[in-house]
Structure 1
Amino acid sequence: MKFVIIGGDAAGMSAAMQIVRNSSGNSIIVLEKGGIYSYGQCGLPYVVGGKIESTDKVIARTQEEFQQKYGIDARVFHEVKSIDIKNKVVSGIIHNTGEGFDESYDRLLVATGASPIVPKWEGVSLPGIFTLKTIPDTEEILDFLYKGVRDVQSVVVIGGGYIGLEMAENFAELGKDVTIVERNEQLAGIFDNEMSELIHQEAKKHNVKLRMGESVEGFIGNQFVEYIKTDKGEIKADIVLVATGIRPNTSFLDGTGIVLGVNNAIRVNAYMQTNIEDVYAAGDCATQYHRVKERDDHIPLGTHANKQGRIAGLNMVNIPATFKGVVGTSIIKFFDLSLGRTGLSEKEASALNFPTATVFIESKDIAGYYPNDKKLTVKLVYHKETQKLLGGQVIGENGVDKRIDVLSTALYHSMTVDELLDLDLAYAPPYNGVWDPIQQAARRVK
């Protein structure tokens, strides 16, 4: 059987490896638009900040390793432009030669990921304006910072989501003068207002300037970007990072009949199948079933991409496996704080018409009498009538990941807030109080 995979990163190569490990005598062709395989995109902000010494460190496996060790026909600079569903052929262009190509398939996986959204602002093509999604993006930023193109002091980050916050932190720790411009009134919109206020305080504590409720209109400059023009004035900028979200790479599917869903991501079932026979999809270009919302969603994260790719690969070689869905778990480091959330925020739950109630507490990450305890802020969102847990948010210096993972597991199993009290969680004074902070919060539910 001949398998063709479009996309050589997390989802695509997870699928390819499952095909290799669980079948034999097949042809596996991977068509990657760029020149690099299997790298950790989430590590790129820390390469810019110098915490990770080079982009080489975030590459899991090289093209040569896939070819020589696993027998995968892993190609680079092959961009698929169209799919002939009837005749089972993908067509595209080889960027480093300019030639076209056609490749037939028996089964096809679309794992094309997503690309940064860059609005069509005036002057957006000026040198010094960047996005961050790939290793070449990272190298371009590093060259601009360190190869004497200009003296970079003032940095403007457009967008206060996860990438925006991570990049603001890393630029600030390089000693740059950092400003975040966010069109909404809060950073990290997936958190509720009282939790995001902690994020605002942390930004100001580290001298990151916040321009909230401000919309970018364009850029001003000659040889390089010099100022950002907004609806409230101008902001000096030696370098600009645009972090306004990402969009699934699915536009090339127009006319194929492949059904798209949330955010124009490819709609897939639990087996990673599309509505077209023998065509699968996985990763940032595909939908994910949200267990709490009980509907398809689009939450592009590396964890989901690897899981979906693995499941797609198994099903492509007739080993039944299903993707069990997501609950919306994520965590980010922002200076001294960890920001964790899972499930639904109060805003999301209300928008979905859940009868919603919440509890909000300030606690400690360890026993209050043990040295060096740190504040931990916890918010639980639950169903007012059934007391079923709907979501949780935890922010603090230490112990956030532990609590978010417990809440994520509770959401996966549809637990109530009362049932949180029955969990047998690890306790010793250097690690916890006798009642874990999420249990303390659950005890306040009426």
Structure 2
Amino acid sequence: MKYVIIGGVAAGMSAAMEIYRTDETAEITVLERGEDYSYGQCGLPYVIDGVIPELEDVVARRVGTFREKYGMDARTKTEVTNINAKDQIVYGIDLKTGEGFEVPYDKLLIATGSDPIVPDWEGTDLDGIHTLKTLTDTEGIMKDLDESIKHVTIVGGGYIGLEMAESFKTLGKEVTLIQRGKQVAPIFDSDMAELIHEEADRKNIDLKLGESVVGFSGDERVNTVKTDKNEYSTDLVLLAIGVLANTQFLQGTGIHLNPRGAVLVNPYMQTSLKNIYAAGDCATDFHRVKQVNDHIPLGTTSNKQGRIAGANMAGNPLQFKGILGTSIIKFFDLTLGRTGLSEREAKQLNFPYEVQTTKANSHAGYYPGGETLHLKLIYHRDSRKLLGGQIIGKKGVDKRLDVLAMALHHEMTVHDLVDVDLSYAPPYNGVWDPLQQMGRKA
């Protein structure tokens, strides 16, 4: 059986290894546009600020390992340009030589991931303007961050924007963060985002909210960021305004995409075309609370979908059970966590919902060292079924977030929270966990 995988990072190589373990006779070809395989993109901000000592530390396996140990035809600098689904052939260009190639397949996986959005603004081709997605991007930023760089401007206040604001500040840079909307972290409701704004202010991050970047200027290298309201001097720019699924090459193939270009897949990661699968940032995710196909690119989802796609391709039927959009971010001294629906999403989807908010101690009040947790719980007004939640604080956020995600996965109600047998000892919790306190109030 000839397996071809387009994309050699999280989803692609999770699938490749699952095929390798399941089908002993598999012939696996991997076509990767870049130079690097199987690395942890989520760790890149922490390499830049030195928390992770070496870039190599985020690499799970180098391409040579897949070739020599697992016998895969793992290629680099190979860009796929088209797919013939009828004859089951992949076409592409070898970026090292400029020559075209074609590879036949029995089963094909599209795991091309997503690319950072770079708008058609004036001056985006100037030196000193970066995106962060790959090992090569990371090396470029690190080489550019010499002592002459005093001020950095970040465009976008999502995951990468917030994490990199901390990284640049840790390196002693002055940081301005420009966000088109009225808040950073738009996956949080505005009342919770205020806590993030306060932390940014405490750490001397210069937030510019409600401003839209329109271009950049400079003599070969960027020195000015232009918005619809002002101009700001800077030494380096990071564009972190989001990503789009890398699926442009699929135009004309007949494969079904969602409005944002992500490949539509079923629970077996199958696409609308026979023998073609998709997984990771370029594919849709079924949202368990919304009950619709969504697109929330996260590393956890990419690895799960890749494993499931590989198993199905190799004849071991597994189903992807869906997502909740669970995510957690470190932002200086705060941990920011959310799962399920925000209040804004519940309102947009016309869910009849109720909200509980509370401030609680991260552990027993009489035990020293406690920190305040800010919690927000959204649940269905009629069924009392949990819909989502957001938690921000310095300690104990991850513990409650994962409990809430598990409760959402199993469609529990606010009343069910009260009955769960959670761990308790004064250094870790009170006798009533904050989530259970909220369940009792509800």
TM-score by length of 1: 0.98
**Distance in 2 (alpha carbons) for counterparts of 1:21 and 1:312:** 13
Deviations, residues 258-294 of structure 1 (Å, cap 9, x unaligned): 0002521000000000011100000000000000000
**Distance in 1 (alpha carbons) for counterparts of 2:426 and 2:19:** 48
1:261 match: 258
**Distance in 1 (alpha carbons) for counterparts of 2:26 and 2:220:** 53
Which of the numbers 427, 430, 436 marks the counterpart of 2:427? 430
1:47 match: 47
The equivalences for 1:90-239 within 5 A come to 90-146=90-146, 151-239=148-236
Secondary structure class of the residue paired with 1:170: helix
Amino acid of the residue matched to residue 438 of structure 1? L
Amino acid of the residue matched to residue 262 of structure 2? A
Amino acid of the residue matched to residue 5 of structure 1? I
| Conserved 8 A contact 1:32-1:78 | yes
**Distance in 2 (alpha carbons) for counterparts of 1:46 and 1:19:** 32
**Distance in 2 (alpha carbons) for counterparts of 1:262 and 1:301:** 19
Amino acid of the residue matched to residue 235 of structure 2? D
Secondary structure class of the residue paired with 2:419: coil
TM-fit CA distance, 1:223: 2.6
2:436 matched to 1:443?
no
5+ unaligned residues in a row in structure 2: which ranges?
Answer: none
**Distance in 2 (alpha carbons) for counterparts of 1:408 and 1:368:** 25
**Distance in 1 (alpha carbons) for counterparts of 2:250 and 2:353:** 39
**Distance in 2 (alpha carbons) for counterparts of 1:26 and 1:340:** 41
Deviations, residues 234-254 of structure 1 (Å, cap 9, x unaligned): 111100000000000011000
**Distance in 2 (alpha carbons) for counterparts of 1:317 and 1:217:** 48
| Conserved 8 A contact 1:15-1:313 | yes
**Distance in 1 (alpha carbons) for counterparts of 2:439 and 2:234:** 46
1:3 match: 3
5+ unaligned residues in a row in structure 1: which ranges?
Answer: none
2:18 match: 18
Deviations, residues 127-163 of structure 1 (Å, cap 9, x unaligned): 01100000000000011113x7xx1011110000010
Give the ranges of 4+ consecutive aligned residues of structure 1 lying more than 6 Å apart after TM superposition.
Answer: none
1:283 match: 280
Question: In terms of mean alpha carbon deviation, does 46-55 or 420-429 score higher?
Answer: 46-55
**Distance in 2 (alpha carbons) for counterparts of 1:80 and 1:257:** 16
Which of the numbers 310, 314, 335 marks the counterpart of 2:311? 314
| Conserved 8 A contact 1:376-1:394 | yes
**Distance in 1 (alpha carbons) for counterparts of 2:336 and 2:186:** 12
TM-score by length of 2: 0.99
1:340 match: 337
1:65 match: 65
1:386 match: 383
Secondary structure class of the residue paired with 1:349: helix
Secondary structure class of the residue paired with 1:263: coil
TM-fit CA distance, 1:194: 1.1
**Distance in 1 (alpha carbons) for counterparts of 2:336 and 2:219:** 39
**Distance in 2 (alpha carbons) for counterparts of 1:383 and 1:3:** 45
Considering only aligned residues, what root-mean-square deviation do their CA atoms show, in Å? 0.8
Amino acid of the residue matched to residue 34 of structure 1? G
| Conserved 8 A contact 1:262-1:296 | no
Amino acid of the residue matched to residue 188 of structure 2? F
Number of corresponding residues: 442
| Conserved 8 A contact 1:262-1:297 | no
**Distance in 2 (alpha carbons) for counterparts of 1:292 and 1:223:** 49
| Conserved 8 A contact 1:4-1:107 | yes
The equivalences for 1:288-299 within 5 A come to 288-299=285-296
Which of the numbers 331, 338, 357 marks the counterpart of 1:360? 357
TM-fit CA distance, 1:318: 1.0
Amino acid of the residue matched to residue 70 of structure 1? Y
TM-fit CA distance, 1:25: 1.6
TM-fit CA distance, 1:428: 0.5
**Distance in 2 (alpha carbons) for counterparts of 1:40 and 1:126:** 28
Deviations, residues 157-181 of structure 1 (Å, cap 9, x unaligned): 0000010000001001111100110
**Distance in 1 (alpha carbons) for counterparts of 2:176 and 2:53:** 25
Secondary structure class of the residue paired with 1:332: strand
Deviations, residues 51-83 of structure 1 (Å, cap 9, x unaligned): 111211110001111111111111111110100
Percentage identity across paired residues of the two chains: 58
**Distance in 2 (alpha carbons) for counterparts of 1:307 and 1:262:** 23
TM-fit CA distance, 1:212: 0.3
2:100 matched to 1:77?
no
2:234 matched to 1:240?
no
**Distance in 2 (alpha carbons) for counterparts of 1:275 and 1:358:** 39
**Distance in 2 (alpha carbons) for counterparts of 1:336 and 1:294:** 35
